[in-house]
Structure 1
Amino acid sequence: MREFTKEEFAWYNGKNGNPTYIAYKGKVYDVTTSFLWKDGEHQVQHKAGEDLTKYLEDAPHGEELLERFPVVGELKE
C-alpha cells in the first residue's frame, strides 16, 4: 500500500483535475467520485488533501460512510 507524506498528500486536493483524497485515522481514501466533494471541498468546511480525523467526530455521519470509498494508501506522520 502506498505511503503518502503530508506534502505528497496535499497534491490530491481535487483541483485542476487532481484526484480528491482525504485521510482519516492514517488511511487515505479516494472520494473523487463523491458529488459531496465537488472541486475538492465538502460543505464549504473541509478541503481534500487534508487529514480530517479531528473533524469526523463532529460530523453528522460516522466513519462507516468512508467504507464506500477505496483506501488508496496510508498517511505518514
Structure 2
Amino acid sequence: MKAYTKQQLALRNGQDKPEIWVAYKGTIYDVSTSRLWKNGKHYEHWAGQDLTEELKDAPHTEKVFQKFESIGLLIG
C-alpha cells in the first residue's frame, strides 16, 4: 500500500484536489463517493486530515470506515 505524508493528505481535501481523503489510525480512506463528505466537509470536520482523535466525539463508531476503500498509509 502506498504511503502518504500529512502534507499530501492535506491536499486531498476536496478543494485543492478533487479527491476527498481522511485518515484514521494510520490508514487513509477515500471518502469521495460519500454524499456526507461533499466538498470535503462533514459537519464540523474537514477532509485532508487525520480524524483519529476526533472520532471519539462522533455519533458513529470506526466501523463507518468499512464502507470506504483504504488507499494508503499515513506516515510522518
Q: Give TM class, smaller chain.
A: over 0.9
State the TM-score, normalizing by the size of structure 2.
0.95
User: 1:11·1:18 contact (CA, 8 Å) conserved in 2?
Assistant: no
Identity %: 46
Aligned mates of 1:56, 1:34 — CA distance in 2: 17
Q: Tell me the residue number matched to 1:70.
A: 69
- Unmatched tracts of structure 2, length 5 or more: none
Runs of 4+ in 1 over 2 A off after TM superposition: none
1:29 aligns with 2:13: no
State the TM-score, normalizing by the size of structure 1.
0.94
Q: CA RMSD in A?
A: 1.0
User: What is the total number of aligned residue pairs between the two structures?
Assistant: 76
